[in-house]
Amino acid sequence: MLKKLDIRNFTLIDHLEMMLYPGFSVITGETGAGKSIVIGAIGLLLGNRADAKQVKRGCDKCIIEATFDLSIYHSDVLKGFFEENDLDYEPEECLLRREVNANGKSRAFINDTPVTLALMRELGEQLIDVHSQHQNLLLSKEDFQLNVVDIIARDRQQLADYRAAFAELRSAQHRLAELREQIATSRDNEDFLRFQQKELSEAKLTLGEQEQLEQESELMSHAEDIKRALHEADCGLSGDDTGIVNLTRSIVTQLRSVADVYPEAQELAERLDGCFIELKDISQEIASKMDDVEYDPQRFNLITERLDLIYTLQQKFHVQTVDELLDRLNAINAQLSNIDNSDEQLQEQEQEVARLHAVCVEKAAVLTDMRRKSATLVEQELSKLLVPLGIPNVRFKVDVSTADLSATGADKVMFLFSANTSTDMQPVSQVASGGEIARVMLSLKAMISKAIGLPTIIFDEIDTGVSGRVAEQMAHIMHDMGAANRQVLCITHLPQIAAAGSTHYKVAKHETEQGTVSTMTQLTDEQRITEIAQMLSGSDVSQAAIDNAKSLLAL
């Protein structure tokens, strides 16, 4: 329930603070006084688009703040919303705030925590339903009519189950379409793919092959230079008289010959002997490598041809390594395998689509059954409500016909209406007058609010096109809605409706030094009499109008 509404610097409002109460309340005021401004402010809390023009001239920003009491509804859904979004849950003081800066940018808060506009909209739609005149156009929308039937049917879980199954079906259908497209494309390219497969397969490529061949090619290309360097190194180390190895061995022998008389020579000899062993080992290894380095023209030609083939394939397939060529071959093999097995894959996917379609049909049938039963209830309840609203010969039918599977099921819902016994029933939006549509919408809202337990409902001039006895009946309906643990607010120009409210607010416009300002005040009992009398007779309030006003308030 909406406990308090605080509006600051919003269009013509400086500061408006309203305390609101359970039951049925009314808001009156002359045309242009600012009643729609209040609705616009509440709309911001429901996620409506913000506009810099909404900020009062000369102010930096406007603030719309609403305080709700959620404790009286004991809603696990609302509590779950706060827990899922990591928001503080304070059921007795739930605060929604929207701030709009003069540059048009806005911020949203729930219990002083910044939130996205989408999150505020999601919560706001569970707390307030604003019915404005343009919503009467919803009666021409098939999805609105279907939604009404679903609400009365209480098929939320069944609809969620169906939508999950339908999402799976659409996904499977999408995969089937993709598979068919892939198969068609692959078959168009089959000859080319098989040519590529043959070319890569016949190359018999192996991992690491390119690096090994390139290294061997480089070695053969410099074989003479390598052999010359190794030969000169071998001569320097192992030459008969001047070779380093023989000289080192001779020096070691001389040092050891004087070791007895010069002990330090022994240590030097041992150190040099270690060098002799290493030099001798290096000399032997160089000698052996000289035999390994040979230039084989035939082998060199084979290596060159093999590398040319690899380079050609890399260029043709736009890759850099043999590994990538092998990956390409594997991909081609997979594509050709899909082509070879495409009929089987296609059949499996078609069977999956058929299976999921059957599941959807089954779940849609459950929805259809619930909707047809709900349609009967809507017809009966709406007829009961519309007869006292001045349509004694009303005929109303909820036509539930079969449709193709969609996200909402396999049903098409249409509201058929006739206000006279002599005319055939036709779609309500085509044959009902503005006043009749308003009465139909009020009746539907009464049914919906009872079914889903909307905490707060605001009617913005739902009484358009009606008067007299019909207005009294509309007031009774809204009063009964308020009495059923609901909060109902109605902006009205009709005294019959204004008199039925438990609480009465008046919107007025005043001229000040700072400009035009709208205000909203809660009326006392005496003020209500005067206000309703003015609504009955105009600005010149007669005693008869006052008496009539008192009579209306006594009802």
User: Which DSSP string do the residues of 68-129 spell out, in sequence order?
Assistant: E--GGG--HHHHHHHHHTT----TTSEEEEEEEETTS-EEEEETTEEE-HHHHHHHHHHHEE
Angle between helices 209-221 and 223-238 (to 10 degrees): 70
Strand residues in 270-408 grouped as ranges (E)? 395-406
pLDDT band at 309 (very low <50, low <70, confident <90, very high): very high
Q: What is the per-residue pLDDT across 204-226, written as a single tens digit (0 to 9) for each?
A: 999 888 888 888 788 777 777 77
Cα gap 111→275, rounded to integer Å: 86
pLDDT band at 155 (very low <50, low <70, confident <90, very high): very high
**Mean pLDDT score of the chain, rounded to an integer?**
87
Tell me the average pLDDT across 172-185.
89
Cα gap 107→105, rounded to integer Å: 7
Which tokens sit at 260? 């007895």
Tell me the average pLDDT across 183-201.
85
Using alpha carbons, select from 456, 520, 460 the residue that is nearest to residue 488: 456
How high is the pLDDT of residue 489? 92
Contact residues for 210 (Cβ-Cβ < 8 A; gap 6+): 307, 310, 321, 322
Tell me the average pLDDT across 164-192.
89
Q: What is the per-residue pLDDT across 517-537, written as a single tens digit (0 to 9) for each?
A: 888 899 999 999 999 999 888
> What are the C-alpha distances in Å from 279 to residues 213, 276, 316?
33, 5, 51
Cα gap 368→360, rounded to integer Å: 12
The answer to whether the CB of 153 falls within 8 A of the CB of 371 is: yes
How high is the pLDDT of residue 79? 84
Q: What is the per-residue pLDDT across 472-513, written as a single tens digit (0 to 9) for each?
A: 888 898 998 888 778 899 999 899 999 999 999 999 888 877
Q: What is the per-residue pLDDT across 222-276, written as a single tens digit (0 to 9) for each?
A: 777 777 887 888 888 887 777 888 888 888 888 888 888 888 888 888 898 889 8
Using alpha carbons, select from 31, 8, 62, 34 the residue that is nearest to residue 518: 34
CATH code of the domain made up of 1-132+447-523: 3.40.50.300
Lowest-confidence region among 129-138, 175-184, 318-327, 342-351: 129-138
SS3 label, residue 396: strand
SS3 label, residue 378: helix
Tell me the average pLDDT across 141-155.
87
pLDDT: which is higher, 221 or 167:
167
Tell me the average pLDDT across 414-426.
89
How high is the pLDDT of residue 406? 94
Cα gap 25→500, rounded to integer Å: 8
How high is the pLDDT of residue 555? 58
Tell me the average pLDDT across 357-371.
96
Using alpha carbons, select from 471, 476, 526 the residue that is nearest to residue 493: 471
The answer to whether the CB of 3 falls within 8 A of the CB of 69 is: yes
Q: Which residue intervals of the chain bear CATH 3.40.50.300?
A: 1-132+447-523
Q: What is the per-residue pLDDT across 89-141, written as a single tens digit (0 to 9) for each?
A: 888 889 999 999 998 899 999 999 999 999 999 888 888 888 876 665 566 67
Using alpha carbons, select from 86, 57, 70, 190 the residue that is nearest to residue 124: 70
- The label of the residue with tokens 């030969």 reads 231
DSSP 502: S
Tell me the average pLDDT across 305-323.
92
Residue 75 has pLDDT above 70, yes or no: no
- The label of the residue with tokens 């032997």 reads 284
